[in-house]
Structure 1
């Protein structure tokens, strides 16, 4: 018996390409089928996010691997956004069964979407950090000054990203979660910067002298979901500090030793 030449994932993407135009045409021709189109689009973006590495590897000149994390983040966020639009449309639809289901479990679905958003950004954070450290070259394998400069530059970029990116990511999540509680936060011009700074203060335990930031911390501590987010923020930052920062320091010391060894050889 012959083995299948292609895997199931090879057939799934062409199937999406074939079915999508049909769903679009039906959604335009029959407005009541727009809900099916929305749900199908959410599934497509979810599939893209899960299989992003596989899909991009099919290109003749795939983008840098670090961009995979960004594309995956955008795909997952689009899936959640479209699914949220789908559920809000279902709740007001004329289909009694679906509208009753959406209204009855609206709180559960909302919390599920929020937790999925948290998980997607945290996954993006780890994917970026892990991806950067894959580019760091072992000092033993460095043969010339150019490679040494590139390796040191990548090392410092990895260290800087590990120290700064978690606070930016959690700043975005704080802005998102608190914006669901207070609409005024969504109207702020620099809300992401403001909450990234707040996240930075929480991470490093710096004094909270500003009354505005103290009000943000009070909001975080008053709601269970934000408390969970704060605990995740502290735990993940401590984990990254104790692992990847330590790895960076170890690599840096190895670079110094290799540099000193090369200088000694040249001197002799």
Structure 2
């Protein structure tokens, strides 16, 4: 099994059956659709293009992929999906990716470098800032490296726990913010007081030293660091079948 497969399965396990999930494209979409194909067949997947309860047989290329609309229970306008579903508190969990993330779970998907003359211009915010603000909880899925896990973001696109402590509460956001970051190396959770993300579990074969080396800040490691449960044969088979169908559909 690959590191990406362990990451995707670990993230999928976070989604309980029956939960309403606002899904981002990429790694979050793979995890959410794997959950629906395995232990959570009744979860309701929502994409920001307005597809409610969608059941794609392959992973969508974008939020505008026809597969999402063709398999949805309902199609609504973009203002409705945000105003009625997200900002009204009807989303249990938001699954997000990131280009950069800091120790408090703040996310950058806008630019790398100076905003006026960036080294890299990224895809942008999309609905991520609203998801980060209003979903009851947020799960972040991304590969861990010093380029992604940075001491200081080039730009704050979506707020996590702001400056740590109770600083998020001062912004008035209704959602609780990111509850977990799942990477290809392990699982990080926020300290209950400082809200700084701490490595609490490492994937099989990954050491704390390796996770520290892949992090741009001085990563804290839990005293009782555990090892994540490896994917089962059934989970791996479902994920690989999903990816193979996607490969055949999209070439």
Q: Give the TM-score band, short-chain normalised.
A: under 0.3
Q: Higher helix share goes to which structure? A: 1
Higher strand residue share: 2
Per the normalisation by structure 1, the TM-score is 0.24
TM-score (norm: length of structure 2): 0.26
Whose RCO is larger (CA < 8 A, sep 6+)? 2
- Quick check: which has more Rg, 1 or 2? 1
